[in-house]
Amino acid sequence: MGERIQDPNKHFTCTFADCKATFSKLWKLEVHYCRHTGLKPFACGDCEKTFCTRYQLTRHQLSHSGEKPYLCSVSGCSAAFSTPGSLRNHIAQVHDNKVRHYVCNYQGCAKEFHKKKQLKTHLCEHTNELSFKCDHEKCNNKFASPKALKRHRKLHEGYPCGEENCNFKGNTWSEYLKHRRTAHRVNLPCNQCKKVFHKVCFLQMHKKFVHSGERRMFKCTREGCQKSYTRRFNLENHVLDFHEGKRDFTCHFTGCDKAFAMEESLKRHFVVHMPQKTKPQKPKVKPKRKKTSKAKTSDAAKLSEHLQKVSLTKTPLP
C-alpha cells in the first residue's frame, strides 16, 4: 500500500492514536477532539447544556433570550428563527415542500419519521432486537441506537474534571457540570462598574451595550421601509400590523373593538379594562405602638386613690 497523501490545505492533524483525521481550520480540529474525549468545554450559564464551540454556545443562548435574528426572506412571510438551520428547514418544508419522510414498512405499521435514525430506533419496537450491547464488564444492557449506548457508557466511564491538580470524577454529566460551576468558576469583573460575569461573551456584551452607549437595532427588511426598533418584538409587531395588515387578536370586552397583531399586545391592552391588575399593591405596615394594659392602668389608679384616702384619714401619733 502506498503512503497516504495529505491534503496541503489540511495541516491540522488529530494526535489521538489510530486517528489520522486532518482539518483545514483549528476550530474544526477542536470540535473533532470532542468526539474522542466526550468533553464539551463551552457551558451555558442558564442551563446544563454544553457545546464544542463558542459559536454553538452563542447560537444556543438565543433560545434563552428569545431573540430570533434569522428572518425568512420569502415575500409575505414574517417567520423568524434563532438558528440558521431552523430557517433552512422552514424554507424547505413550508415554501419548497421538501419534506422527507421515512415510512415504516413493517406489516400493519405505516408510521412516518423525519430522520432515518428515528426509523431505525422505531423498528426495534417491532423486532424486539436491541443490536447495541454494552461491552463493560458485568453489564448486559442492550440498546436500540448507538446514541443510547454511548450515553449509557458514560455511567461506567464517569466524567473527569480535566483541570490540573483536580481529581474530581462525576458519575453523571450533571454532577460534572455542577462541579465545574462551583469549583472552577471564573469571576470576570467589569472595569467600569461593579458587575461580575462568569463568561467572557457576557462581559463583552455588557460593555458593548451598557457602557459604550451602542444600542442594538432591528431594522425592517421590507423594501422601502426605513423603520428600526430596539426590540425584536416591536419589529415583528410592525411587520404584521403595518405591512401585512394582520390583527388576529381581538379584545373580548364588551364595547371594545380593538384588535392587535401580537398576543402580547392584547395582554398589555387588558390593563385598560382592569387597571387594578397592573401591579399588586403591597400592604402598608404601620409601626406597632406599645399598648398599655387596661388591667394594669386600672390597678395603678385604684392604688393611687387608696393611698390618698389613707393619708387623709391617718391621725398623728401623740
User: What residues form DSSP beta bridges with 132?
Assistant: 143
| Residues 140 and 133 sit within 8 Å (Cβ to Cβ) | yes
Q: Give the model's pLDDT for residue 3.
A: 43
List of domains in the chain: 218-277 (3.30.160.60)
Positions of E strands within the chain: 12-13, 22-23, 42-43, 50-51, 70-71, 80-81, 102-103, 112-113, 132-133, 142-143, 159-160, 169-170, 188-189, 196-197, 218-219, 228-229, 249-250, 259-260
Taking CA atoms, 101 is separated from 68, 116, 126, 135, 226, in Å, by 27, 9, 19, 34, 42
In terms of pTM, does the model score above 0.85?
Answer: no
Q: From first to last of the 318 residues of the chain, give the pLDDT tens digit.
A: 344 444 556 577 888 777 778 888 887 887 887 877 777 778 887 787 888 887 788 878 877 777 788 888 888 888 888 778 788 888 877 777 665 667 888 777 878 777 777 787 777 777 777 767 787 777 878 877 777 787 787 777 778 887 888 888 888 778 888 888 888 888 888 888 888 887 787 888 788 777 777 666 778 888 888 888 877 788 888 888 888 888 888 888 888 888 888 888 888 888 888 766 554 444 445 555 555 555 555 666 666 676 666 555 555 555
Distance CA 106, CA 123 (A): 8
Helix, strand or coil for residue 65?
helix
Q: What is the widest separation between alpha-carbon atoms in the chain?
A: 144
Q: CB within 8 A of 57, min separation 6: which ones? A: 42, 43, 44, 51, 201
Say if residue 57 is exposed, middle or buried (CB neighbours under 10 Å; 0-12, 13-18, 19+).
buried
Q: Which three three-digit cell numbers place residue 160?
A: 473527569
Q: Is residue 180 classed exposed, middle or buried when 0-12, 13-18 and 19+ CB atoms within 10 A define those classes?
A: buried
Phi, psi of 71 (to 5 degrees): -95, 145
DSSP label of 25? S
